[in-house]
Amino acid sequence: MSTSFLLLLIVLIGFISYFAGRARSFAQAGGKLSNLHSLPGYHGSYVAIWAILPAALVLGAWLVAAPVYIDSSTRAVLPEAVQAQGGATVELALGQVKSVAGGLNRLTAEEVQALESGSANLRSTLAAKGVALAGEGEPYMITAAQHFNAMTVTNRWLMSAVVLLIAIAGGVYAIRNIATRFRARNQVERVMLGALIVASSIAILTTVGIIASMLSEAGRFFTMVSPFEFFFGTVWDPRFAAAGSGGASGQFGLIPLLAGTLYIAFVAMLFAVPIGLFAAIYMAEYASPRLRSTAKPLLEVLAGIPTIVYGFFALVTVGPFLRDISAQLNGLVTGNYQNFIQAQSVLTAGIVMGIMLIPFVSSLSDDIITQVPRALRDGSLGLGATRSETVKKVILPAALPGIVGALLLTASRAVGETMIVVLAAGVAARMQINPFEPMTTVTVKIVNQLTGDLEFTSPQTLVAFALGITLFVITLGLNIYALYIVRKYREQYE
C-alpha cells in the first residue's frame, strides 16, 4: 500500500467519522438541537480530528524512523570485510545495495535465479532494465538487497496496518465520548489553537535554523581567516585560483564591499526618498479619490516588477544613456568626447534601485500620512492655513517618526538588493568615492563566491556565510530600529 493511498484512506476514515459523529450527536439530542452543548458539526469535527490526527502523526514519525532502521539492519547484513572498512565505504556499499534492490524488483524470477547462481552479470542485467550501477556488483549485494526488499515490504504492511488501526481506534474512542453535554466545540477550538501555534513556530524555527547554519559556517570561515582581517581589511582579493591548493589564500577585506553597499544604497535613497515622499503627499493630501484609486495601484505595480528586470533596464537603457550623455557633455565643455560616467557605475545602480524603491517609500509613507487624524488637518485648515502649510507644519511633523521608520525599512531593502547591482554597478570590489565609477556590494560578492564548483571547505566559499551574516545583522538592526520607531509613533494616536 503506497503512502499516498494510505493517506487517502485516513482521510476517508476521517470523513466517515465526521458523519458518524454528527449522526450520533443528532441521535443523542433526540431531535432538539438545543439539548446539545455543541453543534453537531463540532461533534463531527471532533471525531474526525481524533481519527485523522493521531494516525497522521504516527504515519509521519514512521516514515522518518523506518528508513533509518532498515538501513542499519541492512548494514548489519553486509560482509565483515566491508563493514571493517567503515565510514564512506559502508555508505557507498549501502547505496549500491539500494540500487540493486530497486533493480531486483523489476526482474523476473528466472533472471533473479540466474543472478543468484552467479551465471548472469549483475551490472549488465540491471542496466538492461534501466538501473545503472556505479560499479561492478558483488555477490553479497544480492543477498543484502533481498534482505532490504523483504524488510521494506514488511515495513510497509506493518505501517499500513498500524496506522489504519490507530485511525479507526481514534474514531471509535471519540464517538464513544459524544454526549449531549460533551464540549466538542471547546475541544475543536483547542486543536485549532494548536494548529496555529505549530504554523507560527515553523516560521520561527526556520529563521532560527537559517541563522544557526550561517553562524556555524561563518564560524568555520573565521577559523581560517581572522575576524580582524575580515571586518577591517581594506582589500578584497579572494584569489579563486588558490582555492583548494591550501596555504596561500586571498585577502577578504569587508570594507570595500560594505562601502559599496552603503554608497549605492545611499544614492538610491537620494533618488527614492524625495520622489516617493512627494508622491505620497500628493496621493494622500491632494489627489481626488478617483485619481488616487487609479494612480496608487499603478505606482505599486512598480513594486511588483522583478528586480532582475530593473537590472536589465539599467544595463541596456540607463547605463548606456548616462555614458553617452556624459560623453556629449564632456564634448560640449572640453571638446573631448570622452565619457566620464561608466556604463556600469554607482550612479546607474543608484538611479535604477531608487526607481525600484519609489513605490516602497510612497506606499508606506502614504499609509502613515493618511493615519494622521483628520481633526488635525481640519484644525490647521480652519485656522486659515493652506494645504501645503498644513502638510509642512502639522502633518509631516506628526507623521515624521512613522516616515523615518518607513525609510529605514526601505533602506534595509536597498542594502539587501542584489540583481540590480550585479548588472548596473559591476562586480569590481573597489574603494573609491567617484559615483561615476563601478563599485560592488556585499550581496553581489555572495553570489560571486557561491557560483562555480568550489567545495564548501575553502575560505573562498565560506566567506559568503560571513558576508551573509554581516548583511543579516545590518538589515536586522535597521528593521528592529524601524519597527521600534513605527510602534512608538502608533501609540501616539491610539
Partner 1 sequence: MNIMSEAAVEKALDQKMNTVPYKMIGKDVSVYYGEKRALFDVNLNIRENTVTALIGPSGCGKSTFLRTLNRMNDTIENCRVTGKITLDEDDIYDPTIDVVELRARVGMVFQKPNPFPKSIYDNVAYGPRIHGLARTKAEFDDVVETSLQKAGLWNEVKDRLQEPGTGLSGGQQQRLCIARAVAVSPEVILMDEPCSALDPIATAKVEELIHELRSNFTIVIVTHSMQQAARVSQRTAMFHLGNLVEENDTDKMFTNPDDQRTQDYIMGRFG
Residue ranges in contact with partner 1 by CB under 8 A: 288-289, 373, 375-386, 389, 393-394, 397-398, 492
Residues β-bridged to residue 252? 236
- Residue with Cβ nearer partner 1 (223 or 288): 288
Output the smallest distance, CB 279 to partner 1, in A: 20
Q: Where are the beta strands (DSSP E) in 223-284?
A: 236-237, 251-252
Output the smallest distance, CB 368 to partner 1, in A: 14
Identify the sign of the CA torsion 156, 158, 163, 164. positive
- Residue with Cβ nearer partner 1 (269 or 281): 281
Give residue 130's region: left, alpha or beta (phi > 0; psi -120 to 50). left
- Residue with Cβ nearer partner 1 (110 or 491): 491
Identify the sign of the CA torsion 122, 123, 126, 132. positive
C-alpha–C-alpha distance, residues 270 and 457, integer Å: 40
Quick one: how far is CA 190 from the chain centroid?
A: 29
C-alpha–C-alpha distance, residues 365 and 276, integer Å: 8
DSSP string over 288-333: -HHHHHHHHHHHHHHHHS-HHHHHHHIIIIIHHHHHHHHHHHHHHH
- Residue with Cβ nearer partner 1 (31 or 382): 382
Output the smallest distance, CB 192 to partner 1, in A: 40
- Residue with Cβ nearer partner 1 (246 or 382): 382
Output the smallest distance, CB 397 to partner 1, in A: 7
Residue 311 CB contacts under 8 Å (≥ 6 apart), including other chains: 352, 419, 420, 421, 422, 423, 424
Output the smallest distance, CB 298 to partner 1, in A: 21
DSSP letter, residue 138: P
Rg from Cα positions in the chain: 33
- Residue with Cβ nearer partner 1 (217 or 366): 366
Identify the sign of the CA torsion 117, 123, 127, 132. positive
- Residue with Cβ nearer partner 1 (227 or 397): 397
Output the smallest distance, CB 382 to partner 1, in A: 4
Output the smallest distance, CB 494 to partner 1, in A: 13
Residues β-bridged to residue 236? 252
Q: Is 473 in contact with 403 (CB distance < 8 Å)? A: no
- Residue with Cβ nearer partner 1 (373 or 452): 373
Output the smallest distance, CB 273 to partner 1, in A: 23
